[in-house]
Amino acid sequence: MMHPIQKEDVEPAGVPGSSQVETGGLDPTALRPEVSILIHLEEARADIDLLVDSYNRVLGQLHRVGEIIFVIDGPGGALLDRIKELQVRHENVKVLALQGGGNGESIAYSAGIQHAQGRYVFTTGDYLQVAPEEIGIHLAALEGGADLVLSWRSPRVDPWLNRLQSRFFNWFLRHVSKVPLHDLNCSFRSLRREVLEEISVYGDLFRFLPIMAKRRGFSVKEVKVRHLEEKGKTGFFGIGVYLRRLLDILAVTFLTRFTQKPLRFFGIIGAVMILFGMALALPPFVEKVMGIGGLQDRPIFLMGVVLLAFGFQCIGFGLVGEIIIFTQSRNLKEYKIDQVAGARSERQDVQARLDPQEATSSPVDALPRREEPPPVREGANEDAVKGEGVRPKIQETSEIAGDRVPSAPLVRRVAPGEEAVLDLYVTGHSQGSIFHLDCWRRMVEDVMGRPAIVLVAEQGGKIAGILPFFHLRSWFLGKVAVSMPFAVYGGVLADDPEVAEALMSAGNQISDAANNRYFEYRHVEAIGDRLIERELYVTYRRELPKDPEQCLLAIPRKSRAEARKARDRGLIFEEGCDLGTFHRLFAENKQGLGSPAISLKQLRSMEEYLGADRLVMHQVREPETGRVIAAVMSFLYEDQILPYYSGALNGYERLGVNNFMYWKLMEWASEKGVQVFDFGRSRKETGSARFKKNMGFEAEELSYQYHLGPGGSLPDLHPGNPKIGIYQTLWRKLPRSVVTRIGGPIFKQLA
């Protein structure tokens, strides 16, 4: 239980003195803290003066308004008096005293968050475990989109035996939890306050907060920090400590992986027990039935029966858990919701699908997370003006002459489990493409090793638009944002221009906060007039004849003759192709053009995530030798087919193999009921563009649009740039083994 010290102790001004922070002439007490540092005090000898001076110095250097909250967990008396003396010199110091002692980090930080005012919360112990300057790195990660930032002490300064135990603990936990973190034991962490408000921690579970936050859908990031000092026991701990850690890991594993499916947890244990029980009890039982032996003096039979009984009991526990989950599922919230700039209270619209939340001034933090926000408190707008900037409000839905006027679009981040709903929206949108689908996004996440950002716009409680994009760090392009890497389409999908503008505005703010050079929107048609538009590319699409026999006649005369010439040579077109063979052909073809090719590993990732329903392969073989001389990989989306990657052996192009392959592909697609043949993107006035035009396709402009970040510039890395001509020539002359080895990593950087 927590008891207050004094009113002036519990509610200080919350900012450093004027010597600590530049306030531009404003009264510092009028500024609302942006950063709250929670310090868990367990030792009466803690050097609190050093802690306050160090953290205030760094906050001043970063020009951040902050507060320091001491949570006393046990020691009091003289320590409390020392903190009160500090409050005289530092107005931003608070103190909370927990009744009793030994409550632990979970209770201490949960209590502290109730009195913290900052948008960003730091948790730390009662000594400088990590250099205070690392606050800046943490803040950069939070403002870059992370919800919780974990410190990775590197290099460690504690004894080697402690480091060895910590490394084993984290390695074991990584494999059990499937969350790639390296230093869960470090108490110096930063997070958005919503994380502690939404996730209940108790006992020793604060140590595992990053795993629980990741499971809840929050973005968790780990940054390397400078380790200063380590206090605590050195060497081996008691057996009780190791046992408690093992039980904690078991508890976290259950809470993060099986709370929605308890039958799987208990069912697996029960099934294993039943199998072992049957293995032990069945042989003696069979011997008894057949009269070969008896069950007297056969303890193995009794052990088997006991295991069988326990196994069925475990399965029963799982079934009871499933019944509880089923009946209480409406009250279980295993998700988070993001939105741009909150506005109305829950009372004003109890039927609304999303709840409101007080917004923030940070561009990245314009998408706060919450489940059940508190009611709008009196004076909230004044607080926003003073401490966090003036924020736009979302217009309420109103009724005029009996007609409902749609509310202004509400933009938020996608919530876990919404993928199927978004895919349904994509397939129903006229500009939707395979590159907007969840399968493509997950493929890119796997290849790039980083999560996508998916913004969703809602209007009147329904999805009205989406914008998926990635932050990239390219060797050649720098830090950029792309609406969908490795895709020719994939920009904003929206019901109307207002929704599209809202999505792009939110995306631009997030991109600028990450200091990206630019944000590239790969639109088919331009949206609005606020972005810079470049028309380097065109696409080629047309409807297929319903009769496959008419596909050849739809090709212009000269190209039709080339296709017939290849057909008369007896070339065989068939469905299916080995990925290794296809990659060899594609890489050879791309090297001839002076460009790197996609890696075989990425092709396999595409095959895995898109599946047979979305990806199809075709190849062309010589009749005599059976050798594969050309191949094409195509994507299937609704009533469209997109031949995306292709390759042919050098020298066969002049024999019409490409004309033949695409003609037969059109026939195959027409037979399958496909209506549109999308020949894909080409740069203007290139050989690829001329080939598609000669196959009877008309060019359509692609409107790629760009938002430039601070000091940003448009990309100029494309084959039409004469400056890269020398590199193309060099690439053509490299040995095939070198091209194959380094082509994939380079291709990934061009996204």
Q: What does the pLDDT look like over 133-173, one tens digit per residue?
A: 999 999 999 988 889 999 988 888 877 777 788 788 778 77
**Which runs of E-coded beta strand occur in 393-484?**
398-400, 403-405, 410-413, 453-459, 462-474, 478-482
C-alpha of 360 from chain center = 21
Classify residue 532 as exposed, middle or buried by CB count within 10 Å of its CB (0-12, 13-18, 19+): exposed
For residues 313 and 266, give the distance between their C-alpha atoms in angstroms, rounded to a whole number: 9
Question: Is 72 within 8 Å of 79 (Cβ atoms)?
Answer: yes
Tokens of 59: 């906050």
List, for the chain, all residue ranges whose pLDDT scores fall below the cut of 70.
Answer: 1-31, 75-76, 99-102, 175, 177, 200-205, 232-261, 322, 324-407, 717-725
pTM of the model: 0.51
Q: Which residues share a beta bridge with 190?
A: 122, 149
Tokens coding 462: 């329904």
414 three-state secondary structure: coil
Task: Return the closest-CA partner of residue 467 out of 450, 490, 485, 447.
Answer: 490
Identify the CA nearest to 480 among candidates 243, 209, 740, 713.
Answer: 713
Helix 600-610 with 438-448: angle, nearest 10 deg: 150
- Computed on alpha carbons and rounded to an integer, the radius of gyration of the chain in Å comes to 32
**Distance from first CA to last CA of the chain, Å, rounded?**
55
Helix axes 48-61 and 78-89, enclosed angle (nearest 10) = 30
Tokens 């990593």 found at: 745
Q: For residues 50 and 56, give the distance between their C-alpha atoms in angstroms, rounded to a whole number.
A: 10
Pairing of strands 337-338, 369-370: antiparallel
Helix (H) or strand (E) holding 641: strand 640-648
pLDDT value at residue 358: 36
| Strands 537-543, 676-683: pairing kind | antiparallel
Q: What is the DSSP string of 306-331?
A: HHHHHHHHHHHHHHHHHHHHHHHGGG
Residue with tokens 């919404």: 418
- pLDDT computed for residue 398 by the predictor: 37
In 3D space, the residue among 33, 41, 32, 83 whose CA is nearest the CA of residue 59 turns out to be 33
Indicate the angle between helix axes 239-257 and 209-216, nearest 10 degrees: 10
Q: Which two tokens stand for residue 693?
A: 């035009």
